[in-house]
């Protein structure tokens, strides 16, 4: 069994996000004193909810009120589809507390501009964020064009792939030929019969 951790950087990061979202703090504060266990088999985190709705280290040897188990292999899906994250987990314990955790996890967003502006100022932040967005858009456009070009190359110039319609047409032709052969075989057998 994996020992539980109170991984301080993770706790500090989540508390930073909670500090920017008073609604999330209020929702968790309603469950003050309760313990939540996030169990990913290889990594197990346990936190207690403080009176002000932040995460803190749990008391020694305390039992969690809710345990949320997930497979590490599902983690990319959970991160990619946050609104469906709880469909990939198994929950044991306090359903109301688990529901509050679900709502908070779906609603927390990192405001990178706000944090960056504290470091470099507002004008530089706007330019850095715009540059980052342009970079991401450029990478996505390049990825799309590369994918389209590779598909065209492997379909037209160096046929290694087959279009789905061609496969469907071929399957239909083979089925029709099989049926025709079956009918011809029956006719031949009928003509041979005395």
User: How far, in Å, CA of 9 to CA of 16, rounded?
Assistant: 10
Contact predicate 15/28, CB 8 Å? no
The domain boundary, picked from 66, 91, 107, lies at 107
Q: Are residues 16 and 97 in the same domain?
A: yes
pLDDT of residue 5: 45
pLDDT 10s digits, 11-64: 888 888 888 889 999 999 999 999 998 888 778 888 999 999 899 888 887 889
Q: Is residue 39 part of a domain?
A: yes
Question: At residue 157, does pLDDT exceed 90?
Answer: no
Would you give the distance in Å from CA 7 to the centre of its chain? 22
Question: At residue 84, does pLDDT exceed 80?
Answer: no
Q: Are residues 95 and 121 in the same domain?
A: no
Q: Give the model's confidence band at 9: pLDDT under 50 very low, under 70 low, under 90 confident, else very high.
A: confident
Structure tokens at 84: 């469906």
Average pLDDT of every residue of the chain? 84
Q: Is residue 176 part of a domain?
A: yes
The CATH number assigned to the domain holding 69 equals: 3.30.1050
Element housing 107 (H / E): helix 95-107
Q: What separation, in Å, do the N-terminal and C-terminal C-alpha atoms of the chain show?
A: 79
Q: Are residues 185 and 155 in the same domain?
A: yes
Q: Which domain holds residue 73?
A: 8-107
The domain boundary, picked from 73, 107, 141, lies at 107
pTM greater than 0.85 (yes/no): no
User: How far, in Å, CA of 151 to CA of 154, rounded?
Assistant: 5
Q: Is residue 3 part of a domain?
A: no
Q: Are residues 122 and 98 in the same domain?
A: no
Q: Is residue 87 part of a domain?
A: yes
The total of structural domains in the chain comes to: 2
The burial class, CB within 10 Å (0-12 / 13-18 / 19+), for 26 is: exposed
3-state SS string over 171-194? HHHHHHHHHHHHHHHHHHHHHHCC
pLDDT of residue 7: 56
Q: Are residues 188 and 153 in the same domain?
A: yes
The burial class, CB within 10 Å (0-12 / 13-18 / 19+), for 88 is: middle
pLDDT 10s digits, 103-117: 888 888 877 777 788
Q: Which of 4-13, 110-119, 185-194 has the lowest mean pLDDT?
A: 4-13
pLDDT of residue 137: 92
Contact predicate 62/23, CB 8 Å? no
Better pLDDT: 78 or 119:
119
Give the residue-averaged pLDDT of 141-167.
Answer: 85
Q: Is residue 21 part of a domain?
A: yes
Q: Are residues 52 and 80 in the same domain?
A: yes
47: left (phi over 0), alpha (psi -120 to 50) or beta: beta
């Amino acid at each position: 069994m994996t020992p539980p951790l109170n991984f301080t950087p993770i706790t500090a990061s989540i508390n930073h996000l909670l500090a920017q979202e008073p609604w999330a703090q209020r929702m968790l504060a309603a469950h003050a004193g309760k313990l939540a266990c996030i169990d990913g088999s290889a990594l197990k985190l346990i936190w207690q909810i403080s009176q002000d709705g932040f995460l803190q280290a749990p008391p020694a040897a305390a039992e969690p009120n809710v345990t949320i188990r997930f497979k590490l292999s599902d983690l990319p899906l959970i991160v990619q589809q946050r609104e469906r994250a709880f469909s990939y987990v198994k929950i044991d314990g306090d359903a109301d507390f688990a529901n509050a955790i679900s709502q908070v996890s779906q609603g927390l967003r990192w405001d990178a501009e706000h944090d960056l502006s504290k470091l470099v100022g507002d004008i530089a932040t706007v330019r850095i964020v715009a540059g980052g967005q342009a970079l991401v858009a450029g990478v996505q456009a390049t990825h799309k064009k590369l994918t389209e070009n590779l598909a065209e190359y492997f379909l037209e110039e160096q046929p290694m792939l087959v279009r789905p319609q061609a496969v469907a047409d071929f399957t239909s032709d083979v089925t029709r030929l099989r049926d025709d052969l079956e009918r011809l075989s029956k006719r031949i057998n009928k003509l041979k019969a005395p």
